[in-house]
Amino acid sequence: MPHLKLKPDNLNQRNAEFSQVPLKQPVFLNSVPKSGSHLLRNIMRMFVPVKQHFKAGFIQLASMAEDRVAWDKDRPTLSWGHLLYSDNSAINLKDTRKVLLVRDPYDWVLARARFFMSEEFSGSVGHISDHNVTAEQFINMMIFGIYQKVPNMKEIYTHNGVAWLHTDTLVLKFEDLLHAVRNLDEPEAEVFFRKLLDGCGIDMPDDWRERVLVGSDKKQSGTARENLTDIRMALPDTLPEGQKQLIDFAIPGLRKVLGYE
């Protein structure tokens, strides 16, 4: 079972700097793993009272039976996770506002590889480094999976992402979120965050920019690229053309259905 080594943040304390209005309906922030999950979560934590933050951590299919209290319409909370689409997922979330964050598959592969090679991730790839495989070989493992150790890209994107499309789920792109965070004074940023907050049933406060600035502080995210430590493999900043072709072979039409083509 993979284990993440993440430093604690002080965002619950920072939350007190802002006036908070209680949620009227449960909100679930879902995402394809390594698609900006912590960035979205930390930003939204600045718009919801701390007492309504679900405390059990990231919700996944294995913990859903226990964690479904997060979606109690009579006790609404803000929760987050990497939840596969299934019959039980759809049923348990029927009264919950849902947001899904996705990422360009070409960029996602590198983000996943970088995280797996960092000190912050402990799992089934600890025996791999640039001493025994090349970067291209490891990227291919991120695309096609490692037998009985690491799921392939198609499985993850199918069940964590694509299967949620064209339902009552608000789908957002990581790239749009990042652009909005970096350009808060631009009209596009206000449009993006208004759409996000509307999707969560939250009225946009006048100080929304200040809240986003606090929540998006990279120092508060243990999984931000800048905070990953002891990465034991030199990986490229952009995906090689050959690996782009392999993604298109492994999951034809994926980038198109997600809106990247």
Average pLDDT over residues 4-22: 86
pLDDT in tens, 135-150: 999 999 999 999 999 9
Candidates 3.40.1710, 3.40.50, 3.30.70, 2.60.120; correct CATH number of 3-104+158-225?
A: 3.40.50
> What phi and psi values does residue 97 have, to the nearest 5 degrees?
-75, 135
Give the residue ranges of DSSP H helices in the chain: 11-15, 37-44, 64-67, 87-92, 105-116, 135-144, 153-160, 174-182, 187-199, 208-215, 241-250, 254-257
Q: Is 13 exposed, middle or buried (0-12, 13-18, 19+ CB in 10 A)?
A: exposed
Q: Where are the domains of the chain?
A: 3-104+158-225, 105-151+227-257
Q: How many Å is the Cα radius of gyration of the chain?
A: 18
For the segment 5-14, the average pLDDT, to the nearest whole number, is 81
Q: Name the β-bridge partners of 133.
A: none
Q: In whole angstroms, give the CA distance from residue 47 to residue 152.
A: 35
* pLDDT classification of 1: cutoffs 50, 70, 90: very low
Mean predicted confidence (pLDDT) in 64-80 = 96
Q: pLDDT tens digits, residue range 118-132?
A: 887 777 787 888 889
The predicted pLDDT at position 256 comes to 98
Mean pLDDT confidence for 88-106: 97
In this predicted model, what pLDDT tens digit does every residue of 80-93 receive, in sequence order? Answer: 999 999 999 999 99
User: What pLDDT sits at residue 224?
Assistant: 65
- At residue 230, the pLDDT reads 74
Stronger pLDDT, 124 or 45, i.e. the higher one: 45
Q: What is the pLDDT of residues 172-218, one digit of tens each?
A: 999 999 999 999 999 999 999 999 999 999 999 999 999 999 999 98
